[in-house]
C-alpha cells in the first residue's frame, strides 16, 4: 500500500462529470476530489445516482462529459488497477458452478500486469478472511453462506488486494451489528495505513464517527459536501427513493 | 478393439475431447452460456458444408468458420441491445441451414459424409484430423493456463474484474473462440450436434459433488474422459454412433450423482444450519 497523505494529489478526481442514460441527464457537472487517508461517505436517496457516479468515475459506465483522474493520471491512461479495490452493491450470483469462498476472495488478486505467487495469494486471502471473521469458511461454497456472510466475503476480497483506493457500495447491507463493528475496524485500519475509502450508503449508521467527509447527491448534483458535523439532519437519513428522480423513473420504466 | 489402428486414433481423439471439453464448459456454465457450444456446433456445420463445396479440409474449414462465428457472436452480444438471444438464434439457424444447403450443393456423397460430422464416426478419424485435433487441444490448454484465472474472475464478477484491469470483452471473446475450437475438436468423435453436451453434462454431473470451481473443472474433465472411453467402447461393440453413446453415458453419470447426492446435500445443509444458528 502506498503511504500517501491528504496533502498529495487526489486519489480520484472528477471534473465536470456528466452521465446520461438514453439522452436523459442523470448527473451533471460533478466536481469532486477524493484524498488518501480519508473516509468519504456518499449519501443520497435511491435513484439519486450514487452508484452511477462512482461507476462513471471508475470507468464502469460511460461518461457523457467530463474527465476523471486516478492518482493524477487520466483514467484512460491509468494502468495500476491493482491499487483499486471494489465491493459491488450486488452479491455474486454463485448458483451456477460451485465457487468456494477462497476462490472468490483470491479472484481479486488476478491482474493482467501483475503476477502474485500462489503462496502470497494464500496469505493475503487467509488474512482478509480473518479480518472479516470468516477464516473457517474458506473451503465452503459461496452460495451456502448467508447474504450477510457473502457481503463480508466481498469485503474480504477487497481487503486482500492491499489497494490504496477502496470503493465500497453498501458494505453493511445485510450484515448484523456485531459483524458491522468488525467491518468498521477493518475500514479504520485501511485509512490509518493511508488508503482512501469511499462508501456508498443510505445512512452513515455505525460508520458515523469514522467518516471524514459526507457527500450528498440529489437532483443530479452534489447538494452537500462537508464533515458529518455540518450535515443537515434531514439529509442524513434520506434513504427513500426520490419520487421525482430521473434515475428512479428510468429504473421503473 | 485396440488392435485396429483407426480405433487407437479414435480412442485418443475421444480422450482428448473428454478431457478438454468440460474444462471449457465449466466457464460457459459459470457465465450461464451452457447453450453457446450448441450454437457454435451449428455454425461449424456451415464450415463443414463449405469444405465439401470447395474441396478443402473439413476440420480446418470448420475451425475457421467457427472462430469467425464466435467473433460475430460476441459482436452481436455486445452491440445488439434489443435483439439479444434472438439475434444469436438467427446466427445459429443460419449456420445449420447454410451447412445443409452447401452440403447439398456439393452433391456426390457429401450428404452421407455430413452425417459423420453431425453424429461422429469412429472410422473416419484420419491421421491428419488427429494431428489437427491434438494441436487444437494443446492450444486450448495453453490458453487456459495463461488466461484461465482472468476468465474465471470475469465470469464471476465482470464489473470487479474490469476494475482489476482485466479486459473483460477480450476475455469474453476468447472464451467464445475457445468454445468454437472445442466444438471442432469434438466433431469427429462426438459429432457437431452433440459436442456441446460433452462440454456441459460432465460439469453438471461434477458439481453435484464439488465445493469449488477448480475441483468442478477437474472432476468434470475426469467424467468426460470416462464417458468418452466408455461411449467409444460401447459404440465399437454394439455398432452404434459414438456421439450419442458418449453423451448418454455422461448423462447417466449425472443422473446417478444427482440422485445419490441430493439427500447428502440436504443433510449437509441441515448440519450447517444447526452448527451456525446465527448466520450473519
Chain B residues lying within 8 Å of A86, measured CB to CB: 159-160, 163
Band of pLDDT at residue A5, cut at 50, 70 and 90: very low
**Residue A77 DSSP code:** T
What are the Cα distances from residue B274, in Å, to B268, B277, B279?
Answer: 10, 6, 10
Residue pLDDT, tens place only, B221-257: 999 999 999 998 998 888 888 888 999 999 999 999 9
Would you list the DSSP string of chain B? -TTSHHHHHHHHHHHHHHHHHHHHHHHHHHTT-TTHHHHHHHHHHHHHHHHHHHT--HHHHHHHHHHHHHHHHHHHHHH-SSSTHHHHHHHHHHHHHHHHHHHHHH-TTHHHHHHHHHH--STT--HHHHHHHHHHHHHHHHHHHHHHHHHHHHHH-HHHHHHTT--HHHHHHHHHHHHHHHHHHHTTTT-TTTHHHHHHHHHHHHTTT-SSHHHHHHHHHHHHHHHHHHHHHHHHHHT--HHHHHHHHHHHHHHHHHHHHHHHHHHHHHHHHHH-SS--
A239: helix, strand or coil: coil
Band of pLDDT at residue A6, cut at 50, 70 and 90: very low
A175 vs B253, more confident: B253
Q: Which of B157, B166, B265, B269 to mutate to test the interface with A (most CBs of A within 10 A)?
A: B157
What CATH number is associated with residue A71? Answer: 3.40.50.300
Average pLDDT, chain B: 86
> What is the pLDDT averaged over residues A102-110?
93
Q: Is A27 inside a domain boundary?
A: yes
Chain A residues lying within 8 Å of B156, measured CB to CB: 92, 94, 99, 103-104, 107
A40 vs B127, more confident: A40
Under 8 Å between Cβ of A89 and A97:
no
Number of domains into which chain A is organized: 1
Set of cell numbers at residue B120: 461422429
Q: Is A211 inside a domain boundary?
A: no
Measure the CA–CA gap between B88 and A178, rounded to whole angstroms.
48
The domain in which residue A68 lies consists of 12-45+58-201
Band of pLDDT at residue A233, cut at 50, 70 and 90: low
Measured between CA atoms, how close is A181 to chain B, in angstroms? 12
Nearest to B164, CA basis, from A117, A120, A86: A86
B158 vs B111, more confident: B158
Set of cell numbers at residue B68: 469467425
Under 8 Å between Cβ of B122 and B242:
yes
A86 touches chain B (CB under 8 A): yes
Instruction: Report percent pLDDT > 90 for chain B.
Output: 39
User: Own/partner pairs for B107-113, CB < 8 Å, 24+ apart?
Assistant: B110/B49, B110/B52, B110/B53, B113/B52
pLDDT(B278) > 70: no
Under 8 Å between Cβ of B94 and B46:
yes
Under 8 Å between Cβ of B185 and B196:
no
The domain in which residue B100 lies consists of 5-279
Residue of A nearest to B25 (CA): A97
From edge to edge, which strands make up the β-sheet containing A213-218?
A84-87, A165-169, A196-200, A39-44, A213-218, A221-226
Residue pLDDT, tens place only, B137-152: 999 999 999 999 999 9
Q: Which of B160, B211, B279 sits opposite A98 (nearest CB)?
A: B211
Residue of B nearest to A102 (CA): B212
What CATH number is associated with residue B71? Answer: 1.10.3470.10
Chain B residues lying within 8 Å of A58, measured CB to CB: 163
Measure the CA–CA gap between A11 and B160, rounded to whole angstroms.
18
Q: Is A244 inside a domain boundary?
A: no
> What is the pLDDT averaged over residues B10-38?
89
Q: Which of B163, B210, B280 sits opposite A179 (nearest CB)?
A: B280
Chain A residues lying within 8 Å of B149, measured CB to CB: 107, 110
pLDDT at A249: 47
**B164–A108 CB contact, under 8 Å:** yes
pLDDT(A196) > 90: yes
pLDDT at A219: 84
Measure the CA–CA gap between A3 and B273, rounded to whole angstroms.
43
Whole-complex ipTM: 0.83
Q: Is A246 inside a domain boundary?
A: no
pLDDT at A213: 92
Measured between CA atoms, how close is B162 to chain A, in angstroms? 8
pLDDT(B87) > 80: no
pLDDT at B108: 76
> What is the pLDDT averaged over residues B63-92?
76
What are the Cα distances from residue A211, in Å, to A38, A39, B158?
Answer: 8, 5, 29
Q: Is A28 inside a domain boundary?
A: yes
pLDDT(A2) > 50: no
pLDDT at B107: 80
pLDDT at A32: 92
Residue of B nearest to A100 (CA): B212
pLDDT at B280: 47
pLDDT at A172: 82
Largest CA-CA distance found in chain A, in angstroms, rounded? 52
Poorest-confidence range of A128-132, A217-221, B276-280?
Answer: B276-280
A73 touches chain B (CB under 8 A): no
Q: Which of B26, B160, B210 sits opposite A86 (nearest CB)?
A: B160
Number of domains into which chain B is organized: 1
Q: Is A242 inside a domain boundary?
A: no
Amino acid at each position: 500500500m502506498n503511504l500517501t497523505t491528504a496533502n498529495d494529489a487526489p486519489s480520484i478526481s472528477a471534473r465536470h462529470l456528466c452521465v446520461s442514460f438514453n439522452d436523459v441527464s442523470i448527473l451533471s457537472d460533478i466536481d469532486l476530489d477524493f484524498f488518501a487517508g480519508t473516509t468519504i461517505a456518499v449519501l443520497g436517496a435511491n435513484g439519486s445516482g450514487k452508484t452511477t457516479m462512482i461507476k462513471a468515475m471508475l470507468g464502469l459506465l460511460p461518461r457523457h462529459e467530463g474527465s476523471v483522474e486516478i492518482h493524477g493520471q487520466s483514467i484512460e491512461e491509468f494502468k495500476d488497477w491493482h491499487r483499486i479495490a471494489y465491493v459491488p452493491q450486488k452479491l455474486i450470483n454463485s448458483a451456477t458452478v460451485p465457487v468456494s469462498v477462497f476462490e472468490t476472495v483470491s479472484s481479486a488478486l488476478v491482474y493482467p500486469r501483475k503476477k502474485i505467487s500462489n503462496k502470497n495469494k494464500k496469505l493475503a486471502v487467509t488474512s482478509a478472511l480473518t479480518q472479516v471473521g470468516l477464516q473457517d469458511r474458506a473451503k465452503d461454497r459461496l452460495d451456502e453462506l448467508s447474504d450477510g456472510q457473502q457481503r463480508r466475503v466481498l469485503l474480504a476480497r477487497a481487503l486482500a488486494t492491499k489497494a490504496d483506493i477502496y470503493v465500497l457500495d453498501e458494505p453493511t447491507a445485510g450484515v448484523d451489528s456485531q459483524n458491522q463493528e468488525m467491518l468498521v475496524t477493518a475500514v479504520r485500519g485501511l485509512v490509518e495505513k493511508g488508503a482512501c475509502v469511499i462508501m456508498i450508503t443510505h445512512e452513515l449508521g455505525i460508520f458515523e464517527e469514522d467518516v471524514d467527509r459526507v457527500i450528498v447527491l440529489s437532483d443530479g448534483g452534489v447538494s452537500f459536501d462537508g464533515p458529518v458535523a455540518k450535515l443537515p439532519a434531514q439529509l442524513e437519513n434520506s434513504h427513500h427513493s426520490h419520487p421525482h428522480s430521473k434515475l428512479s423513473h428510468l429504473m421503473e420504466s | 478393439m485396440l488392435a485396429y489402428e483407426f480405433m487407437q486414433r479414435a480412442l485418443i481423439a475421444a480422450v482428448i475431447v473428454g478431457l478438454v471439453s468440460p474444462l471449457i464448459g465449466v466457464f460457459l456454465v459459470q457465465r450461464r452460456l451452457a447453450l453457446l457450444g450448441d450454437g457454435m456446433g451449428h455454425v461449424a456445420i456451415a464450415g463443414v458444408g463449405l469444405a465439401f463445396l470447395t474441396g478443402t479440409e473439413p476440420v480446418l474449414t470448420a475451425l475457421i468458420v467457427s472462430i469467425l462465428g464466435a467473433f460475430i457472436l460476441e459482436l452481436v452480444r455486445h452491440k445488439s441491445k434489443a435483439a439479444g438471444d434472438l439475434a444469436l438464434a438467427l446466427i445459429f439457424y443460419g449456420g445449420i441451414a447454410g451447412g445443409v444447403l452447401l452440403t447439398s450443393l456439393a452433391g456426390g456423397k457429401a450428404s452421407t459424409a455430413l452425417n459423420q460430422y453431425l453424429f461422429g464416426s469412429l472410422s473416419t478419424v484420419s491421421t491428419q484430423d488427429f494431428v489437427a485435433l491434438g494441436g487444437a487441444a494443446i492450444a486450448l490448454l495453453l490458453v487456459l493456463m495463461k488466461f484461465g484465472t482472468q476468465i474465471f474472475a470475469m465470469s464471476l464478477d465482470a464489473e470487479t474484474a474490469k476494475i482489476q484491469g482485466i479486459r473483460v470483452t477480450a476475455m469474453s471473446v476468447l472464451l467464445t473462440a475457445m468454445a468454437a475450437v472445442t466444438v471442432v475438436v469434438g466433431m469427429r468423435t462426438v459429432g457437431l450436434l452433440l459436442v456441446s453436451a460433452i462440454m456441459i453434462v460432465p460439469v453438471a454431473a461434477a458439481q453435484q459433488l464439488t465445493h469449488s470451481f477448480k475441483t468442478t473443472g477437474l472432476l468434470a474433465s475426469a467424467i468426460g474422459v470416462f464417458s468418452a472411453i466408455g461411449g467409444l467402447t460401447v459404440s465399437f461393440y454394439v455398432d452404434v454412433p459414438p456421439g450419442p453413446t458418449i453423451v448418454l453415458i455422461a448423462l447417466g453419470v449425472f443422473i446417478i450423482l444427482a440422485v445419490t447426492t441430493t439427500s447428502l446435500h440436504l443433510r449437509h445443509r441441515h448440519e450447517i444450519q444447526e452448527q451456525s444458528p446465527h448466520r450473519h
